[in-house]
Amino acid sequence: MKIIKTVGVAGAGTMGAALAQKFAMEGFDVIMLDTDIDFVKRGLQRIKDTLDEGIEKKIFTPEKADKILSQIHGSANISDLTRADLVIEAIFENFDAKAELFRKLDLVLSKETIIATNTSSFSVSELAKNISSPERFIGVHYFYHAAKNRLVEIIPGEHTSAETYKSMEVFSVQSGKDSITCKDAYGFVVNRFFVPWLNEAVRLLEERIATAGEIDAVCMKTLSIGMGPFALMNATGVSVAYHAEKTLEHYGKLYEAANSLKLQADKRENWKIDDADLTAICAETKKVIDDRLLGVIFYVCSELLEEKVCSPVEINRGARIGLAWRKGPIDLMKKFGESEVRKLICMIAEKYAAKIPDTIGREYWELELVSLSKKDDTAVITISRPEDMNALNKTVVNQLEEKFDLVNSDPAIKTIFITGSGKAFVAGADIKFFIDNIKSNSIDKIVKFTEYCQNVYNKIDNSSKNVVAVLNGLTLGGGLELALCADVILALPGAVLAYPETGIGIYPGLGGTQRTQNKIGKELTKYLVFTGDMLNAQDAKKIGLVDKIINITEMFEMFEGSKPVPASIKEQVLDDRYLSIQNFFAHYVFGISEYGVENESNAKLYDKLIGRINYKAPLAVKTAEKLINDSKGCSSELEHLNYIFSSEDALLGLSSIGKKVEYKGK
């Protein structure tokens, strides 16, 4: 596996500049190339403008922005790319221009350098024919705006080596991206269904079914999105949509570019979008718009599954992360049900004389949200639901148990890693599940689910294997409780750990009040549970919650078995602040203002802690305090679930996440 430190970006336009910015933001040394130094200067100015906007919004400090800029080196000399470990082509979407660039790169780059194309539509294998060693060539399709959008499609070509693919998979994590992998097929995953959706919207306009504004309004409502198809085309370029559709035309009549789309692209004008009142659109028109546009999405996604271009989870992830759809196509198909989905697909197939795909039905819509890989004596279980911050629900816990049972019973496996994908390890439980069951007076379902989760966690805790949790990002509530079942807890530098439960009206119910004190003691457990304070990786290491902080490269080396796993370090190196916090909670009793402190110089800190606790739900804090003090084991947490989830505070807190609330203690 090649470790990438320096990235070359060939092309300083909108996409190239955004990529250069993103890679520099993630700490890479970047060389941004274009054919003319003036183009390079424009690209650098684009980056500076974006960073200045970030400073205004307080996303960056001026010092951070300066550091990002200092890591980007502009050039018009192709030879400057020779020191890059990876070169990504990001020029305009013209096959001949890309092919010519790759021939030039092949002459100057080392045979060890990975070459990637950011094409959104052309065959990766066809483009690879322009270099002498196609095994080092791969497709990586980034989405606009590449400095902000986390999605990247990884497309191995016919001759791409396993090592090149693995290097790019690791690089996607290093560069802060969520990747989906697909076969080298025109349109890949997202454009394959997204662009025909845009095209079908234009056909509806052509047929005078509705106005552009009406079509946008209906789509925004149905898909819960912020922009409809016409507004999206105006934002990203009407000609971009047209040329993307043209590359798909060989798939058949359904994919033929609408005449109005061609005319609009030729005019180089945006669509005129009227103000439309959704409530004024008649039900029949809404139904036609929904049926046609959903039908196209369902048809194309079923084709993707039939052709094995990708898995259903990658279709969903592509839409939810790349396009910011609240529900992905697979979610929508599940929601509408097999009968309605088949009806809509058949309608589209008949309209465009297309074959009905065989992959219609729930058995084709199963989402793998927990993945497993094995190498020699090592297994890696990855909770892979980044579009939902890896939140726990029944499906996730079922799949976690299934994957863990497989490797736990395998005598060849000695070490089991558990980690997450994206920005989170596990950012807690699926809150909607709690709210729905409280409102329907089905708290028994919450108790049952919690008990099931505890049983799964107990399996992990009691395993004879060496279980290692690698915290890659947000580790909240149930995620931190899962990590504490491991023998060793490792964290990437950006990991954040917290128990937010008492701030939303409940308490940690998956062992948080018990396993935490076994790791760091009762006093600091009370601190974490009562205040909900978020710890960075460094502070978590300081108090003994994390055994070691590692970088991404070390993480993958451990997964590969080329780097040893550190042992658990059962020690705390508490600084004065944490010693004071420990002292405070040794004396503090909830609800009693006289908390007895020996050192008056800590009065400000102690007042601040009390202020934090007073914002929490009192019933939740009081219950957590009892559980921690009694130390009767994880199952004791189940005894108070009915009480806490029946409280008004619980429903208020769970329904008001992100808002300040005033709890009544009821």
Q: Indicate if 39 and 75 belong to the same structural domain.
A: yes
Coil vs helix vs strand at 535:
strand
Instruction: Give the residue ranges of the chain where pLDDT is below 50.
Output: none
DSSP letter at 557? H
Q: Is 560 exposed, middle or buried (0-12, 13-18, 19+ CB in 10 A)?
A: middle
CB burial string 440-457: b at 16+ within 10 A, e below: eeebeebbebbeebbebb
Q: Which helix (H) or strand (E) is 59 found in, with range? A: none
CA distance 533 to 522: 16
Paired residues of 51 in beta bridges? none
Q: Which residues pair with 653 in a beta bridge?
A: none
d(CA 211, CA 281): 10
Task: Let me know the angle formed at the C-alpha of 599 by 594 and 604, rounded to the nearest 5 degrees.
Answer: 70
SS3 340: helix
In a domain, 265, yes or no: yes
CATH number for position 199:
1.10.1040.50
Name the residue among 503, 295, 502, 478 with its Cα closest to residue 385.
478
CATH number at residue 507: 3.90.226.10
Q: Looking at residue 145, what is its pLDDT? A: 87
Handedness of CA 24, 29, 33, 39 (dihedral sign): positive
Cα 538–chain centre separation = 23
Give the tokens for residue 632.
């009767």
The crossing angle, in degrees rounded to 10, of helices 283-306 and 329-351 is: 100
Residue 286 within any structural domain of the chain? yes
Half-sphere exposure of 292 (CA within 13 A, CB side): 25
Contacts 24+ apart (CB under 8 A), 252-255: 252/352, 252/353, 252/354, 253/352, 253/353, 253/354, 254/196, 254/296, 254/299, 254/300, 254/348, 254/352, 254/354, 255/196, 255/199
Structure-token pair, residue 328? 């992905």
The answer on 146 and 198 residing in a single domain is no
pLDDT for residue 3 = 87
Q: Rounded to two decimals, what is the model's pTM? A: 0.93
At position 277, the amino acid (one-letter code) is D
Element (H, E) at 589: none
Is 421 within a domain?
yes
| Structure tokens that stand for 371 in this block | 């993945």
Shared domain for 35 and 128, answered yes or no, is yes
Residue 666 maps to a domain = no
The pLDDT value given to residue 651: 96
Of the chain, the end-to-end C-alpha distance in Å amounts to 57
**Amino acid symbol at 274:** D
DSSP string, 202-271: HHHHHTTSS-HHHHHHHHHHHHT-SS-HHHHHHHH-HHHHHHHHHHTGGG-GGGSPPHHHHHHHHHT-PP
Q: Are residues 355 and 383 in the same domain?
A: no
* Residue 664, domain member (yes or no): no
Distance CA 646, CA 98 (A): 62
Q: Note the residue count of the chain.
A: 666
Q: Which amino acid, 289?
A: I
Instruction: Supply 293's token pair.
Output: 């546009």
- Report helix, strand or coil for 580: helix
612-643 confidence digits (pLDDT tens)? 999 999 999 999 999 999 999 999 999 999 99
Structure tokens at 419: 């980690």
CA 5 → CA 28, 29, 261, 491, 553, distances in Å?
6, 7, 42, 21, 11
* Residue 292 and residue 195 in one domain: yes
Tell me how far apart the alpha carbons of residues 296 and 431 are, in angstroms, rounded to a whole number.
32
* Phi and psi at residue 42, to the nearest 5°: -65, -40
Give the domain-ending residue among 139, 164, 181: 181
Q: 322 and 374: one domain?
A: no
Q: Report the pLDDT value the prediction gives residue 121, as an integer from 0 to 100.
A: 83
8 A C-beta contact, residue 298 and residue 344: yes
In a domain, residue 663? The reply is no
Asked whether the beta carbons of 636 and 600 are under 8 A apart, the reply is no
* Distance in angstroms (rounded) separating the CA atoms of residues 81 and 65: 24
Is there a domain that residue 661 lies in? Answer: no
- Contact between residue 386 and residue 424 where contact means Cβ atoms under 8 Å apart: yes
Residues 253 and 342 in one domain: yes
Report the candidate in 470, 468, 472, 512 with the shortest Cα–Cα distance to residue 487: 468
User: Which H or E run includes 520?
Assistant: helix 512-520
Give the 3-state secondary structure of 125-187. Answer: HHHHCCCCCHHHEEEEEECCCCCCCCEEEEEECCCCCHHHHHHHHHHHHHCCCEEEECCCCCC
- The pLDDT tens digits of the residues spanning 392-401 come to 999 999 999 9
Structural domain boundaries, residue 399:
370-654
User: Two tokens at 439?
Assistant: 């409102």
Reduce the DSSP state of residue 293 to 3 states and report it. Answer: helix
Q: Provide the token pair at 664.
A: 């009544």
Nearest to 438 by CA among 649, 660, 616: 649
Show which of 163, 181, 199 is a domain's final residue.
181
DSSP letter, residue 478? H
Domain assignment of residue 42, yes or no: yes
Looking at residue 597, its pLDDT comes to 52
Contact 500, 595 (CB under 8 A): no
Whole-number pLDDT of residue 131: 96
8 Å CB contact between 425 and 390: yes
Report the phi/psi class of residue 641: left, alpha or beta, with left for phi > 0 and alpha for psi in -120 to 50: alpha
Q: What is the pLDDT of residue 596?
A: 52
Pairing assessment for the beta strands 488-491 and 466-471 based on DSSP bridges: parallel
Same domain, 604 and 459: yes
Single-letter amino acid, residue 382:
T
**Strand (E) positions, 482-524?**
488-491, 496-498
Report the 10 Å Cβ neighbour count for 129. Answer: 15
Do 168 and 310 share a domain, yes or no? no
Active site residues: 120, 141, 153, 191
Tell me: do 286 and 384 sit in the same domain.
Answer: no
Question: What's residue 600's pLDDT?
Answer: 63
For residue 609, report the phi and psi dihedrals to the nearest 5 degrees: -65, -45
Residue 140 belongs to domain with CATH number: 3.40.50.720
Given 116, 149, 181, the domain boundary residue is 181
Same domain, yes or no: 215 and 325 = yes
Q: How many domains, in total, are found in the chain?
A: 3
Say whether both 495 and 354 belong to one domain: no
